[in-house]
Amino acid sequence: MTDTAAPSYAPSYVDPARPPRRKWRLVRGVWKFLVAIKDALVLIAMLLFFGLIFAALNARQSTTAIKDGALVLDLNGSIVEQPEEQAAFAALSGQSRTRQFRLRDVVRSIDTARTDARVKVVVLDLDSFGGAYPAALGEVGDALARVRASGKPVLAYATAYTDGGYRLAANASEIWVNPLGGTIFMGPGGNQLYYKGLIDKLGVNAHVYRVGRYKSFVEPYTRADQSEDAKAASTALYGTLFAQWREAVAKARPKAQIAQFMSAPDKVILAANGNIAEANLRAGIVDKLGDRTSFGRRVAEIAGSDANKPAGNYTEIKYDAWVKANPLPTAGDSIGVLTIAGEIVDGESGPGKAAGKTIEKAVLDGLAKKTLKALVVRVDSPGGSVMASEQIRLAILEAKRQKLPVVVSMGGLAASGGYWVSTPADVIFAEPGTITGSIGIFGVVPTFENALAKIGVTSDGVKTTPLSGQPDITGGTTPMFDAIAQAGIENGYRQFVSRVAASRKMTPARVDEIGQGRVWDGGTARQIGLVDRFGTLQDAIDEAAKRAKLDPAKVHAEYLEKKPGFLATIAQDFGNDGDDDAGGGDAFAHVAADRRQMLARAVGDMKRLATSGSIQARCLECGGMGPTAVGIGDAKLLDLLLARIGF
């Protein structure tokens, strides 16, 4: 029998100064895991970055590859003075976006097409057109009319035309509509959302300080309906602009029986057994009924086609390639053009918003080069911060101190703060459809003492002066603060009036009479002295050149604006490369899209009420006549809200 050693159960010796191996293995494992995550994130970021560059480079249109064909203006978005800068990775992240077309690029592309033999026909695709302000529609429409007058065909197509879309299409030599679509004209106006009932239920107190009988921007927060003053002003404004629309359409298409579709659209459509497209055809509103394939065949008869491609194709010149192939001129003396587009805000911002500090820097940097012979200020803004408006005004005055002529060119709108920044001008140009005026200011301070009381929250504390803690958003404002705030607003209004009076050579009493927050169309504004002449941006540049004693034919516009960053440029090239034709849907689809826009606007209005923090010179009526798409911020906020509640 063999003896075996008994197993030992004595504990092994452990050095107390040395951590157990198990802990070391755990630490090493966690560290390797974190390093792996870091490496993976870096790799993903690099792949996204280089993938975006690769896609953008492939998406770029070559400026040397333009051949004979049809110049296609697929206006699947809105026409604006200055497009907002696109987020660099928005396209790769799957975010939907509405494109914005720069007005001067659209007009230049049409004008150059008129005289270029490579363009056999101009095609307007208005299925997803997002609109523009009346003045912008007029400028683009006039450019299309020049092409048509030259004898070059202009063909338009849509499933259903909006009022703004038809303002452009009316200038086409052939207007097509889908047989299953059709156009119903709505006219300007409609309902504005009012939040007084909601904020009362929530227990929010909106403390409003304003000057201006017609300054209606604050009414949605203080009323459940539109005041009689605001209604009268809107009726006059919309009536005039609508009359201009009808006049322009009648001039472009004198045989179109538009009046029937305005006064009794039900009778006209019922007479066609509910076939809206057929009713359009009978009234001469459109020339042809056909789907996209039929329309494509018609374009191919003029522009040519590729026999190896599906039916309905035609030789196409893409808009982005054409714009790049026809850049702005650079010869001659420099006339600075400062663009003030979008909401006027404090601080810094990218294109699409008029940030005080950003625009001030653009002006001063441009003047510092000592190459500018004059300054043209292009305004397309509903206003905003008074502080930022004054900052911009003072920067423009620096050009006058340097003895440069200053000419203002008003675009679609130059109201409230948009008019404030126009006051340094030697002369002001506008269009009959420009929306301007709205000389008045306001401030809104929301407090939440009633809302907090509903959930049992109150506030209290020690105050060393009558204004300690004011404005108190948790406890409400005091009569003393309210009196001081209102006095400050009234002082701001007096400053506004005095600046306009000095600029327009009027008495303050006269400015107050035509001020009071009243919004005017460009034609009326010229009659009452707020505007000097009718004309486009080019007319303003020519005038600036003459005032600088230069030949207008021997100058060029130098735009004083921040150039898009590298990533933003790539994102634009990548995002603009799309051949899919989703289409804008029929008239009922347009109505559904409008309702979504209204909901997004309501969500944005609530945010603005809660975050407004400065004295404002802003116009409410201006939004009813412009592009239908809401701002990117409002749209994102709505998407986030819908996602949170499960939609």
Q: Are strands 435-437 and 519-521 parallel, antiparallel or unpaired?
A: antiparallel
Rounded Cα distance, 141 and 151, in Å: 16
| Closest by CA position to 121, among listed 379, 348, 279, 304 | 304
* Burial category of 572 from C-beta neighbours within 10 Å (exposed 0-12, middle 13-18, buried 19 and up): buried
Catalytic residue among 109, 381, 416, 612: 416
Burial 320-332 (b: 16+ CB within 10 A, else e): bbbbbbbeeeeee
Residue 152: strand, helix, or coil: coil
Residue type, 601: R
Rounded Cα distance, 175 and 558, in Å: 37
Residue type, 407: V
Query: For the chain, what is the largest distance between any 2 Cα atoms, rounded to a whole number of angstroms?
Result: 129
Active site residue 416: yes
- ∠ CA 393-394-397 to the nearest 5 degrees? 90
Rounded Cα distance, 238 and 259, in Å: 17
| Closest by CA position to 443, among listed 389, 487, 391, 497 | 487
Rounded Cα distance, 44 and 549, in Å: 58
Torsion of CA 74, 79, 83, 86, to 10 degrees: -40
- ∠ CA 639-641-642 to the nearest 5 degrees? 65
Q: Give the rounded distance of the alpha carbon of 493 from its chain centre.
A: 27
Catalytic residue among 78, 120, 152, 215: 215
Residue type, 103: L
Is the CB of residue 133 less than 8 Å from the CB of residue 103?
no
The end-to-end CA distance of the chain, in Å, is 82
3-state SS of 371-417 is CEEEEEEEEEECEEEHHHHHHHHHHHHHHHHCCCCEEEEEEEEEECH
For 477, which DSSP code?
-
Containing H/E element for 454?
helix 449-454
| Closest by CA position to 185, among listed 270, 265, 272 | 265
Is the CB of residue 179 less than 8 Å from the CB of residue 276?
no
Place of tokens 């029998």: 1
Helices (H), 187-307: 196-202, 219-222, 228-252, 258-263, 265-271, 276-282, 292-303
Is the backbone peptide bond immediately before 254 cis, with ω within 30 degrees of 0?
no
The residues assigned a catalytic role are 215, 416
